[in-house]
Amino acid sequence: MTPLIHAQSTHPIPQKAPKDLPKPLKILHSSETIQGGVGSYLRILSGMPEQEAEQIFLIPSNHRRHLLPNDPRIRTYPQKKRGLRGCWQQAKHIRRCIQQEKPDILFLHSSFALIALALLRLRGLDLPVLYCPHGWAFSRYETGSVKARLTAAAEGFLAGLADVSISISRHDLELARTQGYRGRHQLLENAVPAPAQDAASTLFAATPDALNVLFVGRLDRQKGCDILFPAFEKAARQRPDLRLHVVGEAVRADGSGVAAPGQVNFAGWVDSSALDSWYRSADVLVVPSRWEGFGLVVAEAMRNGTPVICSSRGALPDLVRENETGHIFALEETALCNCLLSLRKEDLRAMRTACLETYKTRFSMERFTRDLIGLYNGMLKAV
């Protein structure tokens, strides 16, 4: 090793000053709700390496518990309820946070954030803005209905106020294009972190001959529990080896009256650190949703090598490859019942390798981080 001091001198050799490392981008995130998929998405973002992006999260104070309560990057603002007043409060505190934090990019999440963005643009906001609806709002309504048309007109116009609108699935991107939504739209497919290292695959070891079907999510109309439960009950009459395990509870009023067959195992909500053990122990995940902008549970199952059977609605059929990583069924009771009856443990086991590979290439955080940082840098170059 070359010494730092010359043999004939007591003076150190002048050292070149290290080049200043580029500062990470500062991103200000804001959403007026942190429940459901939006909260999951922000938790994923919060886990990105700090050298890639410095992130601030501005959320309603009464939603803080849904994110990371002790995270010093969280800023809050008061919100009594959703609506125009809540959007005004959000816009006011975004302006204040921009003045204090001086972010490079404002990243807005969920449908109501578009109203806050309109208010900010009226006040002269010129910061680059990235927007993610986490599933376009109009897709929740019956196609062609008055609500669907009005919602599409409103969010399609307001989306043009963002510099870029992110679609979390190919399905959402196609919806924006076919509906003629204004602005620039780009695909940034969702991802999930790697599974817990200590996840077990033995939760159902006491019944090794059973075929264990797992459902994870809210027990409400969107998630299709009112179709799943009677379909499973019919299938279980013909196949006594079927077991249904439900992780989740009713959150909305439209799910509180769903009748469940007696042979279902209800686990309630489980700690996120234990969720991978449920996925890994199950033979298959069932996702009977009426609509999904993406479907994070699909990616969570595949990171554990668990195949998925899902409805043909929303973004779901694009996430599952028929007979390779699972099966797709029409969203009605008979079709789901027949799908359950057709399942074989050996076939599902054979799909596990393809599921793990799909996670690595499509749903991993490495891919997501690379694409998102590329999008950030592209936005700043365009300014």
3-state SS, residue 130: strand
Classify strands 284-287 and 264-268 as parallel, antiparallel or unpaired.
Answer: unpaired
Sign of CA dihedral 218, 223, 227, 229: negative
Residue-averaged pLDDT of the chain: 89
Q: 73-109, pLDDT tens digit by residue?
A: 999 998 877 778 889 999 999 999 999 999 999 999 9
243: CB partners within 8 A, 6+ apart:
204, 207, 210, 211, 212, 213, 263, 265
Q: What pLDDT is recorded for position 259?
A: 57
Q: What pLDDT is recorded for position 43?
A: 87
Identity of the highest mean pLDDT range in 16-25, 146-155, 262-271: 146-155
Q: Which amino acid is at 83?
A: G
Confidence of residue 37 (pLDDT cuts 50, 70, 90): confident
Cα–Cα nearest to 123, from 95, 159, 158: 95
Q: What pLDDT is recorded for position 220?
A: 87
Confidence of residue 44 (pLDDT cuts 50, 70, 90): confident
Q: What span, in angstroms and rounded, lies between the C-alpha atoms of 261 and 147?
A: 34
Ranking 10-24, 137-151, 191-205, 213-227 by mean pLDDT, the lowest is 10-24
Q: How many alpha carbons fall within 13 Å on the CB side of residue 336? A: 27
Q: 148-203, pLDDT tens digit by residue?
A: 999 999 999 999 999 999 999 999 999 999 999 999 999 999 999 999 999 999 99
Q: Is 90 exceeded by the pLDDT of residue 9?
A: no
Q: 280-296, pLDDT tens digit by residue?
A: 999 999 999 999 989 99
Q: Is 80 exceeded by the pLDDT of residue 20?
A: no
How much is the average pLDDT of 343-367? 97
Helix (H) or strand (E) holding 273: helix 272-281
Q: Could you give the strand order of the β-sheet that contains 264-268, starting from the edge strand earlier in sequence?
A: 264-268, 242-247, 211-216, 284-287, 308-311, 326-329
3-state SS, residue 309: strand
Residue 287 contacts residue 295 (beta carbons within 8 Å): yes
Cα–Cα nearest to 371, from 144, 101, 188, 195: 188
High-pLDDT (> 70) share of the chain, %: 91
7: CB partners within 8 A, 6+ apart:
none
Residue 239 contacts residue 209 (beta carbons within 8 Å): no
Q: What span, in angstroms and rounded, lies between the C-alpha atoms of 288 and 213?
A: 12
Q: Is 60 exceeded by the pLDDT of residue 10?
A: no
Residue 311 contacts residue 329 (beta carbons within 8 Å): yes
Q: Is 60 exceeded by the pLDDT of residue 17?
A: no
Q: 116-128, pLDDT tens digit by residue?
A: 999 999 999 999 9
Q: What pLDDT is recorded for position 260?
A: 62
pTM over cut 0.85: no
Identify any residues that bridge with 59 across adjacent strands, giving them in sequence order.
Answer: 76
How much is the average pLDDT of 236-253? 87
DSSP string, 351-381: THHHHHHHIIIII-HHHHHHHHHHHHHHHHH
Q: What pLDDT is recorded for position 250?
A: 78
Confidence of residue 6 (pLDDT cuts 50, 70, 90): very low
Q: 75-84, pLDDT tens digit by residue?
A: 999 887 777 8
Report the chain's terminal Cα–Cα distance, integer Å. 47
Residue 128 contacts residue 106 (beta carbons within 8 Å): yes
Q: Please name the residue that has the structure tokens 């599902």.
A: 348
φ/ψ (deg, to 5) at 236: -65, -25
Compute CA distances 187 → 33, 134, 215, 230, whole Å.
22, 12, 28, 36
